[in-house]
Structure 1
Amino acid sequence: MQQVPSPPDAARSTPPLRKEGRQARLTAGLVATVVFLTAIAPLATDMYVPAFPQVAGELSTTATQVQLTLTTFFVGMALGQLIGGPVSDQRGRRIPLLGALLAMNAASIVCALAPTIGVMTVARLVQGFAGGWAMVIGRAIIVDLATGAQLVRVLNVIAAVGGIAPIVGPLLGGLILQLSHWRVSFWLVAVLGLAMTVAVLVAVPESLPRERRHAGGLGNFLAAGRIVVGNREYVGYLVVAGAAMGALFAYVATSAFVLQSMNGLSPIAYSIDFAANAVGMTAAALIAARLAGRVSTRKLILTGQIAALAAGIAMLAGALWLGTPLSLAIVCFFVLMTAQGLMIPNGGALASAAVPDHPGTGSAVQGFVQWVAAGTIAPLAGLGGEHTAVPMATLMTVGAAVSMVGLLVLAKPKSAETASSRGRTAPHATT
């Protein structure tokens, strides 16, 4: 679909900064800092997930209420990204980013001190809002400074290297449970948030100069949003990444109960398995980054979708008729997580490439949809309680299937000529 320029959000009305010789450019330090920013969500969840049974016991609450703290976090992430992207288009990237990190640090401290599940739920909402605000600005900075194959490559590298957080997070969480208390995980998130703030101060210059900002306001945001969501290709890739995100968080929200409560794994054993799955996701994203510009990005996404769908179907069959055996759950979880490394970062990169004139709004809508999907799926996955995997497996299967519809139906290229005309923006996206 042809792009329609929009004065309020015309972030591409001038050439990319790295071609203008401006101070802001895509450096290794800047990319490393954005990787650090992408660690906000996994660090704030993965260190905490192994402790779900302990949290439920100490705060005298149910598994469903503990999972609700994930939901409020994801809702906060969604709202933070929806608002943070347009605000950064108006105010610039650096100052709003620093403010978000400070707010996230404060919310993490409140989580560490929370006396009740209610206080923790509210603090998690604020923590998610600030974290989502920071993440969408980090992504917008990359979109400010990269295009085409470089954009796809850098976003895959960020996803892959950022996979260290979900590898280390659950291992740290399990270790913390063995040596100390689950509240320590939130103190650690606060300390790491402070380190993120310092990294931004040192390595991230302003990537959006004043002449490329817009006047802001709800009307301007809605106008830009209409253009973004009116782009069928963008919407298709949005569905690809959003549905995959939903399947991923069906696993995140419920896997601790499936592997620990149903199959007897210890917190350390669960954390090791969770980390191994994150290794698979990281490896897949690194392979996709390596192949960017040489192999069709769409084919990589489809490969991941087929694998995720197979894992969901196998998990559902095991939950319905086999009592969810440990070996089947471990294999299906690994395949699902590895597939996400091909689906989510590549789907997000092609969505960004489809709306190059609206990087902030495109990133905001993308983040909003993904984290709304995560926040909606998390409590649904736990509806069956601690002793069934049927809701989770159903959501894994449906998520993979809907993601495939986004790729093959909504984002389907209309013709080879159309695909060729897009070659400058998203090379090898359709070949």
Structure 2
Amino acid sequence: MTARTNADAGPTAGHDPARDGGTARPVSAALIATVVLLTGIAPLATDMYVPAFPDVARDLGTSATAVQLTLTTFFTGMALGQLAGGPVSDQRGRRAPLLVAVAVVLLASVACALAPTITAMAAARFVQGLAGGWAMVIGRAVIVDLARGPQLVRSLNLVQGVGGIAPIVAPLLGGIVLQLSDWRAPFWVIAVITAVTAVVVWFVVPESLPPHRRHAGGLRAFAGAAREVLGNRPYVGYLLVCSAMMVALFAYVATSAFVLRSMNGLSPIAYSVSFATNAGGMTVAALVSARLAGRVRTRTVIVVGQFLALAAGLALLVGAVGFGTPLLLALVCFFVLMVAIGLTIGNAGALANAAVPDHPGTGSAVLGMLQWGTAGLAAPIAGIGGEHTAVPVALLMTVGAAVSLGALTLVARRPSASTAV
């Protein structure tokens, strides 16, 4: 482990960074906006083309299942990219690996737009996810390098909050693009956005990890860093908090169209408005969390979000089992869940990163890998019951919230009464 000066030292494990008095370097609005662009790649690359699944199957002469596999390969790539990008950037620095990742996302997006077969499409989606996850985790690591105390929590919540605009805009933008062109057009749009992002990264993102703070490379060094990170109890606790809430989130993402459209008859436009409204609720909640940083204990905000998610899951489960999932109940439960996500994931991620200040890249990598790996597992599980029942999604929402609350209470528990977490 390399030596760190007092100015570089992060918050002590177990302390709330929102109340930590550590030294911070400025995190500019331009840098936060750039990281938002990097984190927006995933929802843009997913939500913009999901409405075109039937067109993809028809044009490429394949099945709906094969088309859905392109979503799975993307999530798998995201998980692996998160795992690899952090450690590599701990060794090589942030800027160069980030620029390479963005360039690969651009090339993979073009490959998706030109894909002649579903196999080529799935492969290109995997590479797109791999590079996108790589870029996302390095972007977060840059903020962790530069920010301390309330600024760290505020910055990460701003990234999540402003980044929540992407899931709002993506389905609406995708619908407009698909009205004007075919299913390939969204990928050309993503390629253009990625090209703009590359230019912004070049001019805005500094090298935030100087050579004296980098860790030696190699599999053994990474394994040692991962072992150290996973041996940190507060980090593991907050990791579980995030991942369990991701189960609830992606159960909603995977099944809300069936619950609201197939079961309750919403039109595609009405569903898009509902999806955008829920994403807006998540965004507002994350921005509120950012304003509360340093004023309210971060753990308190997380607990509020967890109880909201648990209440939404239980209410939806009762409605699904006993009342056929009324439309109003489903709309309210999904909105409350997304508000809970906005209060929970950004804050828990900030506390996880604060718990492992000596390995910010590896910490971000493991966190992102488990989150996106969980997303890839939750989506198909939520669809086990078919398109005419909301019981699986309600169960996953309830279990995810309960496990998240248990992880905060039992694993990432407050080490002493004097610790303000």
**Structure 1 position 215 matched with structure 2 position 216:** yes
Amino acid corresponding to residue 220 of structure 2 in structure 1: G
CA pair 385-54 structure 1, distance change in 2 beyond 3 A: farther
CA distance in 2, matches of 1:186, 1:319: 37
Following TM superposition, by how much is the alpha carbon of 1:322 offset from its aligned partner in structure 2, in angstroms? Answer: 2.7
**Structure 1 position 361 matched with structure 2 position 353:** no
Amino acid corresponding to residue 380 of structure 2 in structure 1: P
Following TM superposition, by how much is the alpha carbon of 1:306 offset from its aligned partner in structure 2, in angstroms? Answer: 0.8
Following TM superposition, by how much is the alpha carbon of 1:62 offset from its aligned partner in structure 2, in angstroms? Answer: 4.9
Amino acid corresponding to residue 330 of structure 2 in structure 1: A
Residue in 2 that maps onto 1:95: 96
Q: Is the 8 A contact 2:90 2:359 kept in 1?
A: no
CA distance in 2, matches of 1:222, 1:75: 21
Residue in 2 that maps onto 1:143: 144
CA pair 345-281 structure 1, distance change in 2 beyond 3 A: same
CA pair 367-117 structure 1, distance change in 2 beyond 3 A: same
**Structure 1 position 15 matched with structure 2 position 7:** yes
Give the total of aligned pairs: 409
CA distance in 2, matches of 1:262, 1:113: 35
Q: Is the 8 A contact 2:57 2:67 kept in 1?
A: yes
CA distance in 1, matches of 2:259, 2:182: 22
CA pair 122-384 structure 1, distance change in 2 beyond 3 A: farther
CA distance in 2, matches of 1:239, 1:173: 33
Question: Given the two structures, how large is their TM-score scaled by the length of structure 2?
Answer: 0.92
Following TM superposition, by how much is the alpha carbon of 1:134 offset from its aligned partner in structure 2, in angstroms? Answer: 0.0
After superposition, the C-alpha distances for 1:80-125 in whole angstroms (9 at most, x for unaligned) are: 0111100011111111111111111111122223344333222211
RMSD value over aligned CA atoms? 2.2
CA distance in 2, matches of 1:312, 1:356: 34
CA distance in 2, matches of 1:396, 1:222: 33
Q: Is the 8 A contact 1:314 1:332 kept in 2?
A: yes
CA distance in 2, matches of 1:267, 1:36: 27
Q: Is the 8 A contact 2:47 2:170 kept in 1?
A: yes
CA distance in 1, matches of 2:385, 2:55: 19
Residue in 2 that maps onto 1:266: 267
Percent identity, aligned pairs only? Answer: 67
CA pair 335-62 structure 1, distance change in 2 beyond 3 A: farther
Residue in 2 that maps onto 1:422: none
Following TM superposition, by how much is the alpha carbon of 1:63 offset from its aligned partner in structure 2, in angstroms? Answer: 4.8
After superposition, the C-alpha distances for 1:25-49 in whole angstroms (9 at most, x for unaligned) are: 5222112111111111111112123
Unaligned ranges ≥5, structure 1: 1-5, 420-427
Unaligned ranges ≥5, structure 2: 10-22
Q: Larger deviation: 256-265 or 270-279?
A: 256-265
CA distance in 1, matches of 2:258, 2:113: 23
CA distance in 1, matches of 2:92, 2:393: 41
CA distance in 1, matches of 2:54, 2:388: 13
Q: Larger deviation: 30-39 or 137-146?
A: 30-39
Following TM superposition, by how much is the alpha carbon of 1:255 offset from its aligned partner in structure 2, in angstroms? Answer: 1.7
After superposition, the C-alpha distances for 1:144-203 in whole angstroms (9 at most, x for unaligned) are: 101111101111111111111111111112222333323221111111111110100111
Following TM superposition, by how much is the alpha carbon of 1:56 offset from its aligned partner in structure 2, in angstroms? Answer: 4.7
CA pair 406-54 structure 1, distance change in 2 beyond 3 A: farther
Residue in 1 that maps onto 2:345: 344
Describe how 1:186-201 pairs up with structure 2 within 5 A. 186-201=187-202
Following TM superposition, by how much is the alpha carbon of 1:254 offset from its aligned partner in structure 2, in angstroms? Answer: 1.9
Amino acid corresponding to residue 400 of structure 2 in structure 1: G
Residue in 2 that maps onto 1:67: 68
Amino acid corresponding to residue 164 of structure 1 in structure 2: I
Question: Given the two structures, how large is their TM-score scaled by the length of structure 1?
Answer: 0.90
CA distance in 2, matches of 1:384, 1:302: 30
After superposition, the C-alpha distances for 1:243-281 in whole angstroms (9 at most, x for unaligned) are: 111211111122223223333323222211111001100
CA pair 383-32 structure 1, distance change in 2 beyond 3 A: same
CA distance in 1, matches of 2:339, 2:61: 35
